[in-house]
Structure 1
Amino acid sequence: MESRGYLTPVDEVWAEPKPQSFFRRHALFLLTMVVPVFLAFVYLFFIASDRYVSEARFIVRTSAGGTGLEGLASLVSTQGMSRANDETFAVNEYIMSRDAADLLIANNGLRDVLARPEADIFNRFPNFFTRDTKTKLYRQYEHMVSADIEGATGISTLEVTAFRPDDAQMMAKALLKYAEELINRLNERAHRDALRYAKSIVDDARADFTKLEGRISEWRNKSGTVDPGKESLAALEQIGKMTTELAAMEATLAQTIALTPANPSIPALRERVLSNRSAIDRLKRDVVGNDTSVANKLAMYEQFVVEREIAAKAMGAADLNYLKARQDAERQQLYLQTIVEPNLPDQYTYPRRLLYLLGVIAVCGLIFLIIRSITQIAMEHSA
């Protein structure tokens, strides 16, 4: 009896499996290798825009020459020039800062450079997935500008990427200009601060000296003396002269008494001797012996003299320090020296199409092998 097309249980066991389609059998390879590599190929060779890089090199130096002839020699030679490492890092940070980006936006049309028609839909700013904000613009700026310093030489390399060669060169020149302006501001600030500090020391020293002179004048008016030292010398000279005269008078009196005891001039001589002694004692008391004596005034005046000498020396030292600070500020200037001017690129640098495509193939191949190995291990364990 015919089976009329129905399969028996034995036929169902020995029936061949239905063949799978090509896409089903190679789905893993297509999804992990063919499709990503094809998309990368299309983007790199048909969509990605050419990007040009303008490169410049510069170094920040400071003049640290000596004074005198050395300082003069440093004006006509590079002797005495040294690297300014801290300022170099500061310049590099400034180039990569929002301040530099804002200057480029205001003065050099950074927004127009990022939105050139040559740019592809992914690299243009703004695009369909990037909002037009200052933060996003700054992120785009960080991708187009790089500033790196070589530790061994202190030379900084500035690279600016743009969709047009002249844009890249223009932006690099502008950044070097703004970096030099930063150096000039640092010089001006350092010069101003150094002179302000030195000038404050000079002003303080002069104020102290003027204040001391006022105290001396007030003391002179109060004590009624100008120079106790000179006055004491004059008083001592007068005492010495009067003492000599007294000795002569006493000798004359003694001789007169010895020769002519009844001489009528003896009382007058005695009166003169007593008067001279009194005058000498009074002068001695004026020099020493009371609170208003010349000796006390001299002690106070000598203290004033010492203080005035110290104040005068301090004022002179402050003036010299101000002059030295001015010379140092003029000599220890920072300079931005451009070693390599920004070039005008005649060939695009990015994207490196073949290299990027080989990288995509390598990554996709690795992913394919990993997934396939995991799948085979899972199937073997399930069997």
Structure 2
Amino acid sequence: MAGPTRVRKRHWGIVASFLLLVLTPAVLVTCYLFFIASDQYESRVGFAVRAEETQSALDVLGGLSGLSSASSSDTDILYEYILSQEMVERMDAQLDLRAMFTWPEFDPVFALADTVSIEQMMDYWPRMVKVYYDNGGLIELRVFAFTAPEAQKLATALYDEASRKINALSAIARADATRYAVEERDKSIARLIVARKALTAFRIETQIVDPIADIAGQMGLLNSLQARLAEALIEQDVLLDSSRAGDPRLQQVVLRIQVIEARIAAERQKLGVGNGEGDGQQSYAEVVGEFEELQINLQFAERTYLTSLGAYDAAVSEAQRTSRYLTTYLRPTRAETATAPNRLLLSFLVAAFLMINWVILVLIYYSLRDRR
């Protein structure tokens, strides 16, 4: 039979190690949590990024209504922005985070140090602001502070800043959607102004509002002269057959024919269809050609302007059909009791961690002892 078990020196060592490595640290941690650690109050706020597409009039008549959907990319952007350095700096500028998080007189574990850098503030920020969101695009912020009013104030400021960011993203998206249309519209406006100024300068220079109408009058005059010339020629032929040489009527008819032919030649030269040399002035053919060129340029500029204006209106309408905004499903709450730190849970976890480590050390000790 085996002899009675005796308590050896190694057994007392194991007990001493348990007291030193498990019991004492666990008691110290528990005392710190229950007597030194400051209470933290939690404020929750929940919202979602929505992108509402407004349907056109035809869609409404067809029985469709505006659809509201969540944008996962906007949710990801907002998640990263809330945890970013820019957000920390904005909240610090508005609420003085250093004063808010260093309020406990002595709490080196859960409170922020008196003098910290922005990098240390970034390390501390996720402990006080926790962001949760699901695949449906719902975002929930759990904000902690050492007083309930400060927690609610910080949650409200975070929501306002997130809303401002989403509005800025929406404005940027609208600007990007209409930038090209605005550039084309401005170019067409400038082209139309130049074309109209050129036509106005032409009318001032030539003193003719509409050369087409003016030349129609000139052609009427030329046709009248042609008719009178034909009458004079017929009268000349009659006088040649019925009168003798030297008849003064014949001389008058010949003179009238010469005057009419000279006038016809002058009018034709003015219209640009004569064969004579010009007198240095612009002919009607050149005037009409220049006017038609300016008129075509003006018509092209007007059509381009109407097209670009329609494209701009369509781009603005398309940009306004999709609008991003935050919709709140949980307004910032105000706590009545402290919810952090969870003293019982933290005490149990610390004790369990110490116990596991102590058991591992004891097993290592006995394994080494058995190999001797």
Instruction: State TM-score, norm by structure 1.
Output: 0.75
Deviations 1:100-151 (A, max 9, x none): 4445444445344323448734212226xxx44444334333320123332x
Aligned to 1:52: 41
Aligned to 1:38: 27
Give me the whole-angstrom Cα distance separating, in 1, the residues matched to 2:18 and 2:7.
21
Aligned to 1:266: 250
Give me the whole-angstrom Cα distance separating, in 2, the residues matched to 1:82 and 1:304.
52
Deviations 1:137-184 (A, max 9, x none): 34333320123332x322211110123333322321232233334445
Contact 2:59–2:65 under 8 Å retained in 1: no
Contact 2:100–2:145 under 8 Å retained in 1: yes
Give me the whole-angstrom Cα distance separating, in 1, the residues matched to 2:307 and 2:166.
31
Any residues of structure 2 matched to 1:5-44 within 5 Å, and which?
Answer: 19-20=8-9, 22-44=11-33
Deviations 1:265-300 (A, max 9, x none): 223223322332332233222223478321222122
Aligned to 1:282: 266
Contact 2:128–2:144 under 8 Å retained in 1: yes
Give me the whole-angstrom Cα distance separating, in 2, the residues matched to 1:237 and 1:83.
74
Contact 2:48–2:326 under 8 Å retained in 1: yes
Aligned to 1:158: 141
3-state SS of paired residue (1:378): helix
Say if 2:161 is the partner of 1:172.
no
Contact 1:118–1:163 under 8 Å retained in 2: no
Contact 1:96–1:142 under 8 Å retained in 2: yes
Any residues of structure 2 matched to 1:92-131 within 5 Å, and which?
Answer: 92-117=79-104, 120-126=107-113, 131=115
Structure 1 stretch displaced more, 192-201 or 116-125: 192-201
Following superposition, the deviation at residue 344 of structure 1 comes to 2.2
Aligned to 1:338: 328
Following superposition, the deviation at residue 22 of structure 1 comes to 4.8
Deviations 1:54-82 (A, max 9, x none): 111112334432456989xxxxx982544
Aligned to 1:371: 361
Cα 1:205–1:19 change in 2 (3 A) is: closer
Contact 2:41–2:145 under 8 Å retained in 1: yes
Deviations 1:23-43 (A, max 9, x none): 424455445443443344333
Cα 1:340–1:294 change in 2 (3 A) is: same
Any residues of structure 2 matched to 1:228-377 within 5 Å, and which?
Answer: 228-260=211-243, 262=245, 263-289=247-273, 292-317=282-307, 333-377=323-367
Segments of 5+ residues of structure 2 without an aligned counterpart are 1-5
3-state SS of paired residue (1:270): helix
Contact 1:119–1:163 under 8 Å retained in 2: no
Aligned to 1:12: none
Aligned to 1:61: 50
Structure 1 stretch displaced more, 182-191 or 237-246: 182-191
Contact 2:42–2:335 under 8 Å retained in 1: yes
Aligned to 1:3: none
Give me the whole-angstrom Cα distance separating, in 2, the residues matched to 1:100 and 1:38.
39
Calculate the aligned-residue CA RMSD, in Å: 4.0
Aligned to 2:3: none
Determine what percentage of the aligned residue pairs are the same residue.
24
Cα 1:19–1:337 change in 2 (3 A) is: closer
Give me the whole-angstrom Cα distance separating, in 2, the residues matched to 1:305 and 1:83.
53
Give me the whole-angstrom Cα distance separating, in 1, the residues matched to 2:356 and 2:174.
61
Aligned length: 358
Give me the whole-angstrom Cα distance separating, in 1, the residues matched to 2:205 and 2:108.
92
Match of 2:286, as an amino acid?
N
3-state SS of paired residue (2:341): coil
